[in-house]
Amino acid sequence: MKGKGMLVLSRMMDESYVITVPPSTEPTVITQTIIQIRGDKVRTGFQAPKHVEIDRAEVYESKQREKKNAARAV
């Protein structure tokens, strides 16, 4: 079901995703689809509303460090 508007990411064993959902009065539905399994790597597709952030764990951690550094600079 790989299609328009789907974020497709690959992860290896012990790697993670971080999904950040801001507060909302509406329910937030996130659909995860396994696209492909090849050896020790899984390709996963996500469909979610635009306000939902989905990052590889290392990208999320980098964003958090940037926010912390920006807050210190103020």
Residue 25 in any domain: the answer is yes
Residue 1 in any domain: the answer is no
Query: What is the average pLDDT across 36-65?
Result: 92
| Tens digits of residue pLDDT in 25-46 | 888 899 999 999 999 899 999 9
Query: What is the average pLDDT across 7-34?
Result: 89
> pLDDT at position 27, please?
86
Per the rule left: phi > 0, alpha: psi between -120 and 50, beta: everything else, 5 is left
Residue 39 in any domain: the answer is yes
Residue 57 in any domain: the answer is yes
Q: 13: domain range?
A: 7-73
> For the chain, how many structural domains are there in total?
1
Question: CA-to-CA distance for 10 and 15, rounded, in angstroms?
Answer: 9
Mean pLDDT score across all residues of the chain: 88
CATH code: domain of residue 33: 2.60.40.4380
Q: How confident is the model at residue 4 (pLDDT cuts 50, 70, 90)?
A: low
Nearest to 16 by CA among 50, 44, 48, 47: 44
Residue 2 in any domain: the answer is no
